[in-house]
């Protein structure tokens, strides 16, 4: 996640100690300043909440056709002075909107739906305030890919490493739908360097911590922290792979390894990255053999007259590594141990890396869709998983850009369409609305079924 401290469920920052809300500027009139990008951040955010934030659909989403569900939902605000206000709740969509406009949070986090309205927490006996449900959420952050990225590190991203996020969405979306039967999945760009997934099916929302943990154990294949070199074990040599993993390897991971790791990342052309992969080999003899063969190959490519085909070279180096493992000389036990190694390397370099804590704790907070990232100014827009390969994080609307677009639209257009419909946020808001429509329809059908059943008796 972009800001681990602020999404820690154990954070006990000043519940009610937030300062009085900053004075809210008068609602913006039809004319906006001519140089919107130069507006102070607070003014931009105010304009964003007033004119663009989809409060209606946002509240409709979190209500699931029941106003009481919204009222018992925890919201947390990060204010622009850094104060973090937890356990807020709102009885109605209007109350939520008014409070956001008054406090103008730089970040809104969404927590669980509790047994009682979160704002009444302090008046309750311990044990009376328990989380009852929350969407199943996934959090994937590019910093967890630093050991396999050669293009960027830390908070930086580029089109090359964004491919890892595309792979993650493709693979996890398929697993959550096909293996778990979920269908209401909202993927959201985190505004900077990652993605979130909100699984909104009723069955998912009602999972307890144990079930969430079991689900993460199923999905989490790359394990271990920075200090651990080998992070994937596919089991005994003779045992077939789990069908989920076999399918993932065949359809997503193997092709991604070729295209992204060998191609875009040019993993063998960066000393540190190359050494990290060599460290996964079983012993020094194999490492040395592979190194020598790679050097010979490099020499051959250097000597050739034509421009070297880097992808062809990377593939040739990968084939040398795989062959050297196939001809490994050692005990049969050791041979069995490394039987899966080439595939384990492919998985380690392509499989999605989850922040498990975010998923396993029902009361964990996660940044709300449509927040504005304070560092990049980008809006946390939904990503259509069916078209995730087309998603470009650098093309996501920024709050300053939206205000500029609105100004330009006003210069040429008469009144009519709502503000958001005149900007590049339009398609993202329409996608979100259709997602919420789908949830609404299902909730209404369920209600009707329950009513019919009760009439039968
Ligand atoms: Zn990059």
Q: Which of 334, 350, 366 is the last residue in one of the domains?
A: 350
Is the pLDDT at 280 greater than 70? The verdict is yes
Average pLDDT over residues 328-349: 91
- Report the pLDDT value the prediction gives residue 26, as an integer from 0 to 100: 35
Higher pLDDT among residues 372 and 413, named by residue: 372
Higher pLDDT among residues 422 and 163, named by residue: 163
pLDDT digits (tens, 9 = 90+) for 29-57: 333 333 345 567 889 999 999 999 999 99
pLDDT digits (tens, 9 = 90+) for 164-209: 999 999 999 999 999 999 999 999 999 999 999 999 999 999 999 9
From ligand 1's centre to the CA of 151, what distance in Å?
A: 4
Average pLDDT over residues 125-147: 95
Question: Which two structure tokens, joined as six digits, stand for 319?
Answer: 């084939």
195 and 260 fall within a common domain: no
From ligand 1's centre to the CA of 160, what distance in Å?
A: 5
- Report the pLDDT value the prediction gives residue 289, as an integer from 0 to 100: 96
Q: Which of 350, 381, 406 is the last residue in one of the domains?
A: 350
From ligand 1's centre to the CA of 142, what distance in Å?
A: 9
From ligand 1's centre to the CA of 143, what distance in Å?
A: 11
Average pLDDT over residues 371-385: 96
139 and 159 fall within a common domain: yes
Inside any domain, residue 310: yes
Instruction: Point out the least confidently predicted range of 1-5, 101-105, 160-164, 272-276.
Output: 1-5
345 and 382 fall within a common domain: no
User: Radius of gyration (Cα) for the chain, nearest Å?
Assistant: 25
Is the pLDDT at 263 greater than 80? The verdict is yes
Domain containing 345 equals 229-350
Yes or no: say if 80 and 142 are a contact pair by the CB < 8 Å rule. no
Inside any domain, residue 222: no
Inside any domain, residue 268: yes
- pLDDT band for position 429 (50/70/90)? very high
From ligand 1's centre to the CA of 292, what distance in Å?
A: 29
Active-site residue list: 74, 139, 141
Instruction: Point out the least confidently predicted range of 13-17, 147-151, 234-238.
Output: 13-17
- Report the pLDDT value the prediction gives residue 412, as an integer from 0 to 100: 67
345 and 397 fall within a common domain: no
Average pLDDT over residues 361-379: 96
- pLDDT band for position 309 (50/70/90)? confident
387 and 418 fall within a common domain: yes
Instruction: Point out the least confidently predicted range of 6-20, 210-224, 338-352, 408-422.
Output: 6-20
User: Long-range contacts: 120-123, Cβ < 8 Å, 24+?
Assistant: 121/15, 121/87, 122/15, 122/16
Yes or no: say if 87 and 14 are a contact pair by the CB < 8 Å rule. no
**Angle between helical axes of 310-326 and 341-350 (0-180°, round to 10):** 140
Is the pLDDT at 226 greater than 90? The verdict is no
From ligand 1's centre to the CA of 156, what distance in Å?
A: 7
Is the pLDDT at 117 greater than 70? The verdict is yes
269 and 198 fall within a common domain: no
Question: Which two structure tokens, joined as six digits, stand for 106?
Answer: 């730089």
Yes or no: say if 119 and 89 are a contact pair by the CB < 8 Å rule. yes
Q: Which of 291, 320, 350 is the last residue in one of the domains?
A: 350
Name the residue among 336, 324, 348, 331 with its Cα closest to residue 235: 336
Is the pLDDT at 13 greater than 60? The verdict is no
- Report the pLDDT value the prediction gives residue 2, as an integer from 0 to 100: 43
394 and 374 fall within a common domain: yes
Inside any domain, residue 224: no
Inside any domain, residue 48: yes
From ligand 1's centre to the CA of 301, what distance in Å?
A: 26
- pLDDT band for position 414 (50/70/90)? low
CATH value at residue 408: 3.90.920.10
- Domain total in the chain: 2
279 and 310 fall within a common domain: yes
Is the pLDDT at 1 greater than 60? The verdict is no
From ligand 1's centre to the CA of 344, what distance in Å?
A: 23
Q: How high does pLDDT run on average in the chain?
A: 89
- pLDDT band for position 4 (50/70/90)? very low
pLDDT digits (tens, 9 = 90+) for 239-251: 889 999 999 999 9
367 and 336 fall within a common domain: no
pLDDT digits (tens, 9 = 90+) for 216-225: 999 999 998 7
């Amino acid at each position: 996640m972009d800001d681990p401290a602020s999404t820690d469920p154990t954070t006990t920052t000043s519940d009610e100690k937030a300062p009085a809300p900053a004075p809210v500027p008068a609602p913006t009139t039809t004319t906006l300043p001519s140089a919107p990008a130069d507006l102070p951040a607070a003014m931009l955010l105010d304009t964003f909440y007033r004119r663009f934030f989809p409060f209606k659909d946002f509240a409709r989403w979190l209500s699931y056709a029941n106003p009481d569900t919204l009222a018992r939902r925890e919201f947390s605000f990060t204010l622009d002075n850094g104060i973090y206000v937890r356990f807020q709740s709102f009885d109605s969509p209007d109350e939520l909107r008014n409070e956001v406009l008054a406090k103008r949070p730089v970040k809104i986090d969404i927590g669980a739906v509790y047994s009682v309205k979160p704002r009444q927490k302090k008046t309750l006996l311990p044990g009376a305030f328990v989380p009852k449900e929350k969407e199943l959420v996934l959090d994937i952050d590019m910093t967890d890919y630093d050991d396999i990225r050669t293009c960027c590190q830390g908070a930086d991203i580029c089109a090359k490493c964004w491919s890892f996020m595309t792979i993650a969405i493709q693979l996890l979306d398929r697993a959550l739908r096909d293996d778990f039967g979920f269908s209401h999945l909202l993927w959201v760009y985190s505004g900077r360097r990652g993605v979130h997934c909100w699984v909104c099916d009723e069955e998912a929302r009602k999972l307890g911590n144990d079930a969430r943990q079991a689900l993460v154990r199923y999905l989490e294949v790359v394990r271990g922290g920075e200090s651990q070199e080998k992070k994937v074990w596919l089991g005994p040599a003779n045992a077939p792979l789990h069908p989920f993993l076999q399918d993932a390897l065949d359809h997503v991971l193997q092709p991604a390894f070729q295209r992204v790791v060998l191609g875009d990342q040019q993993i063998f052309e960066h000393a540190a990255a190359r050494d990290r992969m060599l460290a996964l080999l079983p012993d020094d003899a194999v490492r040395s053999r592979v190194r020598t063969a790679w050097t010979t190959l490099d020499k051959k490519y250097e000597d050739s007259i034509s421009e070297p085909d880097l992808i062809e070279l990377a593939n040739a180096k990968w084939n040398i590594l795989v062959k050297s493992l196939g001809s490994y000389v050692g005990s049969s036990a050791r041979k069995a141990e490394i039987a899966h190694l080439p595939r384990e390397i492919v998985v380690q370099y392509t499989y999605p890396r989850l922040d498990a804590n975010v998923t396993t704790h029902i009361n964990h907070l996660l940044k709300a869709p449509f927040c504005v990232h304070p560092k990049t100014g980008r809006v946390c827009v939904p990503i259509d998983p069916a078209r995730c390969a087309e998603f470009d994080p650098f093309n996501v609307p920024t709050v300053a850009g939206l205000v500029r677009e609105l100004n330009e639209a006003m210069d040429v257009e008469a009144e009519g369409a709502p503000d958001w419909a005149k900007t590049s946020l339009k398609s993202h808001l329409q996608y979100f609305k259709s997602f919420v429509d789908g949830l609404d329809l299902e909730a209404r059908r369920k209600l009707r079924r329950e009513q019919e059943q009760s009439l039968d008796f």
